[in-house]
Amino acid sequence: MERRKESITRIQDIVRQTGGRNLQIFSGLCCGCSSIFFTLRGRKRFCSLRCLNKFFSGRQHPGYKGGSRRTKLGYVMLRGGGPQQWEHKAVMERFLGRSLRRFESVHHKNGLRWDNRLKNLELWASRRKQPYGQRVRDMLVFIAKYYPEEMRRELTRRRRVHA
């Protein structure tokens, strides 16, 4: 109600200063706070800059990217209401139904840090630091599945060299 009074008094002041010549006064319903407001410009959707900023924040913002970003190292970082969190850890915690323990870490089987599907993640438990890289078996399965022609070429080339 106070904003409405402020906008009315502001418009009345402008009308007094200009003598009311060629002025059109528009009324509108604010998309942010649903209050009625008056303006000298038509097609205005918000009563104030505060309502505009509040309306276009988070999911409503046209540039909203799903609440996540990719870091320089290739991991996906989730942004939300609380602190930022690694997506691969969040996926594993959701699957387990509990938070990860101090000695547990999440490993990407195919080595792609942005690929956070549950079937690509596995839980490792060790008191020491985890090794980097992928298992040879997992790498061979990945290469055979997605690069069969290159694998065949390399195997035939190696057979010729060793024969």
| Mean pLDDT computed over every residue of the chain | 79
The pTM (predicted TM-score) of the whole model is 0.48
Domain ranges of the chain: 2-57, 68-132, 134-163
- Residues sharing a CB contact under 8 Å with residue 90, sequence separation 6 or more, in sequence order: 78
- 90-144 per-position pLDDT tens digit: 999 999 899 988 878 888 988 899 999 999 998 887 656 656 666 767 777 878 8
Q: What's the full length of the chain, in residues? A: 163
Cα–Cα distance measured from residue 57 to residue 38, given in angstroms and rounded to the nearest whole number: 24
- Residue 92 burial by Cβ neighbours in a 10 Å radius (0-12, 13-18, 19+): buried
pLDDT tens digits for 25-67? Answer: 677 778 778 777 777 666 777 878 888 887 777 777 767 666 7
Distance CA 49, CA 42 (A): 16
Q: What is the distance of C-alpha 130 from the center of its chain?
A: 28
